[in-house]
Amino acid sequence: MKKQSSKSRRNFIQSLAAGTILLSLSPLVGVAQTKQDELPALKSNGNKLILGMVVFDGFQLLDVFGPLEMFGSLRDKVEILIIGERHGLVKSSAGPSVVIDCTFDEVKTLNILMVPGGGGTRREVNNGALIDAFKKLAESAPHVASICTGAAILAKTGLIDGLKATTNKRAFKWATSQSDKVTWVKEARWVEDGKFFTSSGISAGTDMALALIQKIFGRDTAIRIANGAEYEWNEDSLHDPFAKLNGLVD
C-alpha cells in the first residue's frame, strides 16, 4: 500500500509539473494563434486610449521602449499595441526581437500612432506598402509621433508637407532628403506642429513622449511619470546641444 501510495504521489506531482509547464507556455501559444476578432486591443476598452507603435526590421530599441516606458505608466488610461506588416518576430538593430500584436490590416483606429527610427528606415522609406499603411492610420489618429529617423517615414507620407519637423542630428542630411516639402528644424529636441510630434535622435523620443503625455494628460502627470522612472525630463524642446555637436548650427 505504501508503494502504491508513493507511486500515486509521484504521478500526481509529475502531472502537476507538466500542467504548470503548459500553463507557462500558453501565453506564447496564444500570441501565435490569436485571430483578428480575438485581439483585445482592437476593441473598445472603456475610456482607454489606444497607442500603436509601428516596428520593422532594424528599428532602434530605445526609440521604441523609451516612449513606451513612459506611456506604460498609464496602464489604466492607455493600451499599447506593437504593429507591423505581418505577424511574428521583428528584429531590432541591436539584435533583440519583439512580437507583433497586430498587423496594419487588423488595426481600424488609433488615438496615438508612433514610428521609431533605426537603420531599417533606410529600407522602409522605399517600402510603399508600409508607407501607405502608416499614412492611412496617421490620417485618422489624433496624435502622431516619430522618433529619430522615423521622421523620414512620416515625411514620405506627405502628411507633414508645409509643417515643421525635426529628426536625428547625425542622420539629418539623409532623413531630410526624403522630402523637401517639410520645414526641417535643425536645432530642436522635438517639434510639435498641429497633431504631429517629431523628435531628434533616440533618447529625445522619451522627452517628446513626456511632452505628448503633458498635452493629453497634463503636466502633473508627465512630471509624476518622469519622477517615477527616475528620469530627468528635458522639458525645453529647444535645448538641443547635438545640433551644434553635429555641425548643423554654429
The tens-digit pLDDT sequence of the chain (250 residues) is 444 444 444 443 344 344 433 333 333 333 333 333 333 333 345 689 999 999 999 999 999 999 999 999 999 999 999 999 999 999 999 999 999 999 999 998 899 999 999 999 999 999 999 999 999 999 999 999 999 999 999 999 999 999 999 999 999 999 999 999 999 999 999 999 999 999 999 999 999 999 999 999 999 999 999 999 999 999 999 999 999 999 999 9
* CB neighbour list of residue 46: distance below 8 Å, 6 or more residues apart: none
C-alpha 121/C-alpha 59 separation (Å) is: 7
- Measured in degrees and rounded to the nearest 5, phi and psi for residue 143 equal -135, 125
Contact assessment for residue 56 and residue 216, using Cβ atoms and an 8 Å cutoff: no
Contact assessment for residue 31 and residue 99, using Cβ atoms and an 8 Å cutoff: yes
- Measured in degrees and rounded to the nearest 5, phi and psi for residue 244 equal -70, -40
Separation in Å, CA 174 to CA 26, 44, 88, 159: 44, 39, 30, 19
C-alpha 55/C-alpha 73 separation (Å) is: 21
C-alpha 108/C-alpha 106 separation (Å) is: 6
176: which DSSP letter? H
pLDDT of 46:
66
Q: What is the pTM of this model?
A: 0.82
Q: First and final CA of the chain: distance in angstroms?
A: 89
pLDDT of 108:
86
